[in-house]
Amino acid sequence: MRSGNSDEPTRPGSTWTGAEVNLAAAICAAQFAVAIAVWWVGTFDDDDHGAGLGGGFAAVGLLCVLVFGPPLLAALGLLHAATCTLPAATLARLARRRAPGPESAWHLGLVLLIGAAWAGLAVLLLGLAPTGTRVLLLTAWGVPPALGVALMRRRERATGRPPEPGRVWLRSALAALGACVLVVTAGTVGLATGLIHEYRPPKLGADRLTGVWRGDHGAVLRLSADGGAVLSAVPAQPEFGDVTTKEFTRCDGPGKWFLDTAGRYDPYADGPASQRRDGVVVRVGDCGHDTYWTIGGTEAHPELFVLFGDPDAGDLRVLRQD
């Protein structure tokens, strides 16, 4: 029997209808697609560290996205719906029996509460800033599906039937595609007009490069003003093998370094010298070959990086200054 609240349709106590599952998952999947497009546009002004997919790799990558992208997004949408939107719907239905207020309002509040719990877990496990944008997005991620479920319930009461699953997913896919096209178009226009600035590596002198640089697995590179270097577990080009190999060795001990401002020693350098990136050449007597550490990052937070292997699928190693 229907209760006196018009926001509560007739249905068993805490079950989820197939229409609710489909709608919540479809909206979540569309959100993931748009979020990926926004993230990709946001990388337009990031340092790619000399990596990238080109030629055949780009074609294969695009094919993989077209083939595996839709089912993966659908699975992510279903996972989010099952862990946030729909548990909140069940709790809202139970809470409505014991407290006043429309079920949709309870649903929205509980979605935010569950989202905040997942965001808190991300803060603990991933080290995200508690007040960062990503944490706020995780908290509010279930709001659009919750609003969509509430709208579907009103339409179901008006029409007497739930929406067809195929139509729900088709509309979700079309909406996601349109939003992604708008995001990418806006990013491309912004890049062409200068609203989004293309990444430019910092120009650092030898005095700015001296100091201690640290990387993963305890790598420490100390560069002194007299051209001396001290290495501890620092990745280096192997003594044998060509530049395209992903293998590298880790060197310890004294060495030398110098600043290359024209990319003359960069094994991947091509094009005019004005477009080549500055770097640091590190030489160690009995450990591997000279290794070219390209300068990246920003003026405030510089980096030295080397890409071992093919630029399309290399092994990136980064050092950051203390």
Q: Give the pLDDT of residue 8.
A: 46
* Domain identity same for 42 and 186: yes
**pLDDT above 80 (res 292):** yes
Q: Which CATH number characterizes residue 215's domain?
A: 2.40.128
The sign of the dihedral angle between the CA atoms of 240, 243, 247, 250 is positive
Assess if residue 153 is contained within a domain. Answer: yes
* Domain identity same for 151 and 280: no
Q: Give the pLDDT of residue 150.
A: 86
Lowest average pLDDT, out of 46-55, 129-138, 278-287, goes to 46-55
* Domain identity same for 259 and 228: yes
Domain housing 39: 18-193
* Domain identity same for 185 and 67: yes
Assess if residue 221 is contained within a domain. Answer: yes
Assess if residue 9 is contained within a domain. Answer: no
* Domain identity same for 184 and 214: no
Average pLDDT of the segment spanning 210-224: 94
pLDDT confidence band for 52 (50 / 70 / 90): low
* Domain identity same for 41 and 181: yes
| Residue that finishes a domain, picked among 160, 193, 226 | 193
**Which has more pLDDT, 158 or 320?**
320
Assess if residue 186 is contained within a domain. Answer: yes
Average pLDDT of the segment spanning 114-130: 87
Report d(CA 314, CA 21) in Å as an integer: 41
Q: If you average pLDDT over every residue of the chain, what do you get?
A: 83
Assess if residue 151 is contained within a domain. Answer: yes
E strand intervals along the chain? 211-214, 220-223, 228-236, 249-260, 279-284, 291-297, 302-308, 315-321
pLDDT confidence band for 320 (50 / 70 / 90): very high
Q: Give the pLDDT of residue 198.
A: 80
* Domain identity same for 30 and 123: yes
| Residue that finishes a domain, picked among 135, 170, 193 | 193
Report d(CA 206, CA 208) in Å as an integer: 5
* Domain identity same for 163 and 259: no
**pLDDT above 50 (res 277):** yes
Q: Give the pLDDT of residue 222.
A: 96
**pLDDT above 70 (res 6):** no
**pLDDT above 80 (res 11):** no
DSSP reduced 3-state for 239: coil
Assess if residue 198 is contained within a domain. Answer: no
Number of domains in the chain: 2
Average pLDDT of the segment spanning 283-307: 88
Lowest average pLDDT, out of 26-40, 143-157, 229-243, goes to 229-243
* Domain identity same for 98 and 215: no
**pLDDT above 70 (res 13):** no
What's 14's DSSP letter? S
Burial 19-47 (b: 16+ CB within 10 A, else e): bbbbbbbbbbbbbbbbebbeeebeeeeeb
The torsion angles phi and psi of 12, rounded to 5 degrees, stand at -60, 160
Residue 236 pairs with which residues in a beta bridge?
A: 249
Its pTM surpasses 0.75: no
* Domain identity same for 169 and 31: yes
Assess if residue 90 is contained within a domain. Answer: yes
* Domain identity same for 257 and 116: no
Going by C-beta distance under 8 Å and a sequence separation of 6 or more, which residues neighbour residue 216?
Answer: 317, 318
Average pLDDT of the segment spanning 77-102: 88
Assess if residue 13 is contained within a domain. Answer: no
Q: Give the pLDDT of residue 208.
A: 93
* Domain identity same for 165 and 56: yes
| Residue that finishes a domain, picked among 171, 193, 215 | 193
